[in-house]
Every structure is written in structure tokens, then in C-alpha cells.
A and B are shown apart, each in its own frame.
Chain A
Amino acid sequence: MSGPAGYIGASASITAEDVPALYEGAKFYSPAVGDANRSSITSWLAGLLDRNGPVPLLRVEAVAPETPCVSVCVLGSGSAMADLPPAGDEFEMAVRQIERLQRVEFGAVYPLAAATISALVAVVTAAQLRVPLLDADGMGRTFALIHHTAMHLSGVSPTPLAAVGPTGESVLVEVPAGPRADRMLRANVDTVGGWAALAAYPTTAGVLRRAALPGTVSRIANVGRLLLDRTDPDVLVTRLGTITGCRRLARGRIAELEHLSRPSDVTIPAHPSSLVVEETGGLGRQLRIELRSEIVAVFADGALIAGAPDLIGLLDVSRGVLATLDSLEPGDLVDVLVTPADAVWYSPRGMEMVGMASHGIPLAHPRRR
């Protein structure tokens, strides 16, 4: 790649060659996710794009305001998806159900979160439905619950939504209050196969112009290209910084993995644990990294230096790749990277929803002190 990474742009499209970069970039924005179904999902998507042709990637402004749009994502655990792979029509079925319910035909698809497999399945869905993909999403990274979106903050309801499992069974949910939808869905996800294809937030492009986070799909493609480049970690961090605003908090060696440091929280589906990293060089600080379903806080010598909704990731320095949280071992040399989330998450309502307090850490965010 020559020169600084550029914006793919409204007229660009996603081809089979972009799939590896999309996958890597999506991983950057959801560092907790493992690589369990990497090859199956990427080869599936690449095959689709080869057969159906490239998927157009459009800026929201480039689409007529009245165009109906719907978001898709994967609900449930990634490892369940690896155990019970998609039959292939789940996402299309989910979208079709809402089309039938609302008697509309969606003119564009967008990812609920431009991260994890959800970013890829949005491309899959767009390819299957032969509609463009919007260069926007609802989270700009991943959060745990489906109402943790910019759309929800702008008053767009997630329902009606449809969840289709690999068993072919589906759930249709309609709730007046958005947060209730997640609860109802989680109760059903196990039953329909451990994961489900979700179609939600049916709205129009006009609403999305103000409610969605723009440019997030092209961003993961660009980030993914950088990550695939396999350069020196220092260069990589600098390059990532120009695209994502990420910076290195510290470089250190993992000293200790503490599990279950506090009783599990019922609302966030994850086991809390923490990671102790001894900073090499610099001040030699002791970093404590708190893990839930993602990294939610970083303490340096006990002082909070980064926390949710910041996106915090670990870069395996010796291999120059992102470290997934299930692959960490004491002795690993890691860079602790922090990337600011989209601005909407630092608003009072955003912080209330996805800030550290939601993970049981009642401390003021370092950006707000």
C-alpha cells in the first residue's frame, strides 16, 4: 500500500479480494472474538462475491432518503456459530420476514456493528439480496447488547426485528421499549441453535444520515489492510493511529492472569477477569487490564488511564498481530492500544449505556476528569 490509507468512497464496492482485509479490520474492532470460524465465513463470503459480483458500498448520503434500510448482525456466541455453521439463508430469511411484516422492500443493508463477523454477514446479506451495503453502522465497534447503538440513542426502535437460527426457526420481536428486545432475544438464542441471524432497526436512509455512524465499514477495510501488511509493530501502531486515532498506552509483559475477580454480572454475558502487565521501559508501571466481554478498563499503577467505551486492544509484539483475549499467556509481550470510540459514546447517555459503570466500575472516565 502506498501513501496514507484513503477512504474507499461512495462509488467503491467490496470484492472477494477485500474479504481478508475486512475480516482483519473487523477483528480489530472486536478484540475479544476468537478465530474459530475464520475460514468458513471468509470463504463463504468470497464465494458469494465471486458468484454474485461485487457489493456496492455507498455512503448514506449517496442513497435516496426514503430508501428503506435494515441492519443485520450475528446474535449469540461465535463459537456456537463454528459448531453449527449457517445453512446460508438465515440472514436473507430474517430480512425477508421484516419485509413481509412491514410490506416494504429494503433498498440497502447496513451492519448493526462494523466489527466481528457481523461486519462480514452484512456483506453476505447485501450480496444475497443484491442490494448495496451502507458505509455506516450502529456501534463503530462492538458492544454487548443490541440496543447499544447510535440509532437507539437517536430514538430509532430496534424492532420489529427477526432472529433466524441455523435450525431454520425464527423469532419475531416487537417491543415498545428497545432495551427489552435484547432480553427477549437472549432467552431464545439457545433454543434456535446457540446463535441467530438478526435483522433489526428497519428505517430509512434519511434517518440513518443522522442516526448511524458513518464511514465505519470502509474504515475496517482500511484497518484490515494495515494489519495484513505485517510490519514492525511500532510502524503498525503509527499507521493505525492515522486511521483510527489509536495510540499505544504502554508496552509490557503479561505477569498474571486473574480470573473471576468479582462475582459475575447478570446483565453482561461474560466472566470478569483481569490481566496484569508489567510495563517494560518507560515508568515500569503495573498495568491492570480488566476484562469482561471485552477489555473495559486499564489501570496504570492503580490510576484509570483508559476505559469503556474506549476500544482497548492488545497487540502481540513478537508476532506483530492483534492478540485475542483467549490466547493470552503470562510472559507474552504486548502493546496495549487504546482507540477512541465514536464521539456519541462519550455523551452522558452514551456513557450511561456502555461506560464503565455498566461494567461495575464506578470510576470517572479519564476523558471526563
Chain B
Amino acid sequence: MRRTSTLSITLGELARIQPLAGAESHLADPSRKVEQVVLAETFDRLRRCTPHVLVVLHDEAATGGWSLAAALHLAWERNLSAVVVSRTVAGGASVALAERLHMSLIVIDDDPIDIALQLAGQVSAPAAARALRQARLAEQLAEQTGIRGVLGVLNRELQHVPVALVVGGVVVAGQSAALTDRPQVRQLEVEVHAPGERSAARLIAAVPLPGPAAVDQVESLLRLARPSLQAAWAQSRLDTATRAAHEQAAFGLLRRLPQASSGEAAEIEVPAWTSELGWQVGEANRAVWLAPLRPSGEPPAEITYLIRASWQRGHSTWPLVAEGDGWISWHSGTDPDDVTALRRALAGFRDSAVAHRLAIGIGRAHPGVGGLMRSVAEARLAAHVAREGGPGAVQWFDQVGANAALAWLPTTEIAQVADLCLEDLMAAKDRAALVQTVLAVLDSGGSLSQASQRLGVHRNTVLARLARARQLGLTYEEPGQRLALHVLCYALTSLWSETGTEHAQPA
């Protein structure tokens, strides 16, 4: 037998089940225990009540507003738990008086005698009443299909006990008040495993102490909510196509938020619907951009599905949003420098990245929605830089710097320009070596020795190649053309090295 069965039922619990569930309750203190129910016909009977009694007024004791006022005063004097009275007697002033005396008042529409009998039964068998309440809660939970709905039911049922669903220290749904440490409050945790997940979510409830029967009661109610949560989760995973579209739309919406808000420094509140998708936008958001080496427009849904399957393995709350020519994901946490989870995920994803020929860019950690968007832009840049490293390459934005600009050069188009403007050069057989040499000299700021060192050829060879390049139109020494030629050389070199078509032959 659990300990709960011997504890008195509380007013809050009674008010949640029939017959009082349908009544108009003005509860001063829902955690007040109810030890006995008294049907009071006279004021004498009221005067003889002992503390923690719930009194149902009837007959002489319920003849008018004055009788209710007098009964409320007596109830206050006798430290009774609550006064139950028929609606014909209770007016607005009576409710005000009850509030003033801090006395719970419950207004009923049914026959007071029937109500008193039912309540007496419930109070004498608190375990049965609690079971009734749990059954009612289970019914309500079963009706919920969303995570927010489930948390809503829990928070509504457990008045004065905030409940939150937490994943990795971040509140996904419910009331974040559950997490704050307060005196006289005990935190209760129930783990919720999503199917096939390593990382678990936790339901956390802050139960005020001393609250009669609270801790055990709350725990069993939280356990009741577990299957509904798991089902809600599974449901949201089930239809990936819908989910992908949903996430894409949601991300678009999220992106527009910082633009919509006028104040630049103004903190943008994280919209509640993000939690429904399982997203977290925390204090430190670090974006990840998964980009195909050869972008070819919008990726097909099947690829998105595969990428999602491998990326979200073990990180079900990490989003995956198909965006332009890649996928956006992000990791949220409280510590901006904590990248262990991300590194582990990247390591796990490496094989898939190679298989799908993906390069990965990672932004820096920034707070809030605006910070997330900034991190996304950084990650995208880093991903472009990462493309140079081949499939599976990972580039952290912190290490990119201004070089990132080069990653954006449309090398193919620039190479076509070279075909037109430098016809002689492009026709030469040794064009690759010439271009590479000019690039090396320009990169080295005109230093021939450095360039020869970098190319691994003799200084004279460099000189000879430069002379030939000049003849063919690579007049790199002219200041007006230097930048254009430098970019051209860079584009040609990177294009040829990428395609592997040209190989600079050492002379």
C-alpha cells in the first residue's frame, strides 16, 4: 500500500472531481486538507465543528445572504476548510467576504444533502477519490496530441505546482517556474524517453512543501503523462514530409522576427510555437550548415529525409531545416563555449557527410533569435569555405576570417572571363603552371624567393615563367590590373584543382 492512501484529501483534489468539479469554487487554499464533511442545518451545528471540516450549509443555516455571512465567520473562527452553499444564497458580496476571511467558498447548484453525502464518501476514502482524479486526468491526457497540450493539462490539474518539460536544461514546454529553486519547494523529476533516443527529456514539477499528499500524488500524475508525451513525440516524428515543410515554414517565420522588430537591441522573445517543434532557442545558439559540395538547387525531399535520419540520430530536438542549397541545424545551450555535444555529433555524422558529399560549416554561439540568425549566416559562410576541404570537411567560422570572401567567388564564371580576355594564355599548354606561378608571386607580395619556395621550383624558373606569362597577357605588374588578375588566377587555380583537369607540370 502506498503512503498516499492514509493522507487526508485536499480541497484542491476534491474540487477536481465530481460533484464539486462542476461547482463554482472560490478556493482560498487548495492545499487545505479536508478531514470530515458536516451537513450543517443550524448555527449550533456549525459552532460544534472541529477544524479541517468541510461544511455544507442547509436549511436554517442557508436562509439568506446574512446566514452565509454568519456561517463564513463561524467557519473562519472554527478554522474550517471550506463552506459549500447553494447558489440561491451566495451573492457577489458573499464571495467578497469569503475572500476577505481567506475562507474557501464553493457554490453548488445541486441539492446540498446529495452533495454532502457524496463528499463524505470521498473524504472517508481519499485513495478512491484520488484514483478517480487520476482516471479523470488520464482521460484528459489521452485527448491531447501535442506536447504543449499535455503540459497544459498537467499545469491546469496541478494548480500551484508548476510543471515543465526539460531537454538538456532547456524548457521545451510548460512553466519554467518549475526550475527555479525556492525555499519550501521540492523539485520532482520524471524521466521521459522518446522512443529510441539516448538523451532523455525530464518532466520537472516544483511541489510546495509542506503540502499534504503532494509529492506522491504529483509524481504519479507525472508518470501518467509520460505515454501521452511519448505519443506526441512519435506523432510529430511520424510524418517527416509534413514536418520538413512545417520546420521550413517555421524557420522562415523565425528569420523574419528580427527584421520585424524595430528596436535593434530589443530582445526578441522566442515564440512559443518553436517548442512544439522541439526546437530550443537558448542563451547560446550555434548553427550548423550542411552544404553539398556541388550545390544543385533545392535538395530533393528524399535526401532531406536521409540527412535528417543520420543527423538527428541521438539528437531528436536538433532541428534540420532544408534551406536553399543545404540544411540548417543548431545546438542550443547555456554555455557558449561548450561544444562537446556538437563535436560528438559531428564525429558521428562524418561517414554520412562523406557519403552524401557534404561540407559542414559551423557558426559561433550567439544568444536569442537574432543571435541564431547571425550564427546561421556565419555557418553558411564557413560551409562555403569548407567545400575546399572536400567531402566531410568541417569548418568553424572562428577559423575562417576574411578568406571567407574568396569562397563566394563564382570561379566558373571568372574562368569563362579568362577564356575571352586572355585567349593566348588559355591556349598555351603550360597555362596551369603559368597561372599558378603568377598567383604564388602575387600571394607572396611580389617576393620571387618566397614564391619559388612555395612552388618548390628554382627562382630562375619562376622568373622565366613570369616573363612568358607577361608575353601571354598576364601583365600582373600593372597596378590597374593587378587585383583583377589576382582574382582571375585564384579562380582558375581553384577551378582546376577542384576538377582535377589541369596539373601544373614542374618545368
Chain B residue nearest to A288 in the complex (CB): B69
Partner of A286 from the list B71, B89, B100 (CB cut-off 8 Å) is: B100
B-side contacts of A301, CB under 8 Å? 69, 73, 97, 100-101
CB <8 Å contact, A258 and B65: yes
A361 to B70, CA, bound (A): 10
A4 interfacial contact with B, CB 8 Å: no
CB <8 Å contact, B65 and A302: no
CB <8 Å contact, A288 and B66: yes
B309 interfacial contact with A, CB 8 Å: no
CB <8 Å contact, A256 and B92: yes
B496 interfacial contact with A, CB 8 Å: no
Q: How large is the interface on A (under 10, 10 to 19, 20 to 34, 35 or more residues)?
A: 20 to 34
CB <8 Å contact, A363 and B64: no
A304 interfacial contact with B, CB 8 Å: yes
B-side contacts of A12, CB under 8 Å? none
CB <8 Å contact, B71 and A302: yes
CB <8 Å contact, A360 and B70: no
A80 to B43, CA, bound (A): 39
A255 to B93, CA, bound (A): 8
The interface bits of chain B over 47-82 (1 if a CB of A lies within 8 angstroms of the residue's CB, else 0) are: 000000000000010011111011111101000000
Nearest-Cβ distance from residue A112 to partner chain B, whole angstroms: 30
CB <8 Å contact, A302 and B64: no
A291 to B172, CA, bound (A): 58
Which of B91, B93, B96 has the most chain A CB within a 10 Å cutoff? B93
Nearest-Cβ distance from residue A21 to partner chain B, whole angstroms: 35
B-side contacts of A261, CB under 8 Å? 64-66, 89
| Cβ < 8 Å to B, chain A residues 277-295 | 286, 288, 290
CB <8 Å contact, A362 and B42: yes
The interface bits of chain B over 106-143 (1 if a CB of A lies within 8 angstroms of the residue's CB, else 0) are: 00000000000000000000000000000000000000
A274 to B65, CA, bound (A): 7
Nearest-Cβ distance from residue B342 to partner chain A, whole angstroms: 60
Partner of B73 from the list A258, A274, A303 (CB cut-off 8 Å) is: A303
A213 interfacial contact with B, CB 8 Å: no
A255 to B91, CA, bound (A): 12
Q: How large is the interface on B (under 10, 10 to 19, 20 to 34, 35 or more residues)?
A: 20 to 34
| Interface of B: prevailing SS | helix
CB <8 Å contact, A363 and B65: no
Chain B residue nearest to A297 in the complex (CB): B66
Nearest-Cβ distance from residue A141 to partner chain B, whole angstroms: 21
CB <8 Å contact, A274 and B66: yes
A-side contacts of B74, CB under 8 Å? 302
CB <8 Å contact, B93 and A258: yes
B-side contacts of A255, CB under 8 Å? 93, 96
Partner of A302 from the list B42, B63, B76 (CB cut-off 8 Å) is: B76
A272 to B60, CA, bound (A): 15
B-side contacts of A361, CB under 8 Å? 66-67
A97 to B320, CA, bound (A): 108
A288 to B66, CA, bound (A): 7
CB <8 Å contact, B63 and A360: yes
The interface bits of chain B over 180-192 (1 if a CB of A lies within 8 angstroms of the residue's CB, else 0) are: 0000000000000
A288 to B69, CA, bound (A): 8
| Cβ < 8 Å to B, chain A residues 284-341 | 286, 288, 290, 297, 299, 301-304
A-side contacts of B72, CB under 8 Å? 302
A276 interfacial contact with B, CB 8 Å: yes
| Cβ < 8 Å to B, chain A residues 250-266 | 255-256, 258, 261-262
A57 to B101, CA, bound (A): 52
A363 to B43, CA, bound (A): 8
B-side contacts of A363, CB under 8 Å? 43, 70
The interface bits of chain A over 161-201 (1 if a CB of B lies within 8 angstroms of the residue's CB, else 0) are: 00000000000000000000000000000000000000000
A303 to B71, CA, bound (A): 9
Given contacts A302-B69, A302-B72, A363-B70, whether A272 and B64 have CB atoms under 8 Å apart is yes
B-side contacts of A299, CB under 8 Å? 66, 69-70, 73
Chain B residue nearest to A285 in the complex (CB): B100
Nearest-Cβ distance from residue A315 to partner chain B, whole angstroms: 21
Nearest-Cβ distance from residue B94 to partner chain A, whole angstroms: 9
A-side contacts of B64, CB under 8 Å? 261-262, 272, 274, 290
Chain A residue nearest to B73 in the complex (CB): A302
Which of B65, B74, B92, B97 has the most chain A CB within a 10 Å cutoff? B65
What are 15 A-B contacts defined by CB distance under 8 Å? A261-B65, A272-B64, A274-B64, A274-B65, A286-B93, A286-B96, A286-B97, A288-B69, A288-B97, A301-B73, A302-B72, A302-B97, A304-B70, A360-B63, A363-B70
7 nearest A-B residue pairs (beta carbon): A302-B73, A261-B64, A262-B64, A276-B93, A302-B69, A262-B63, A261-B65
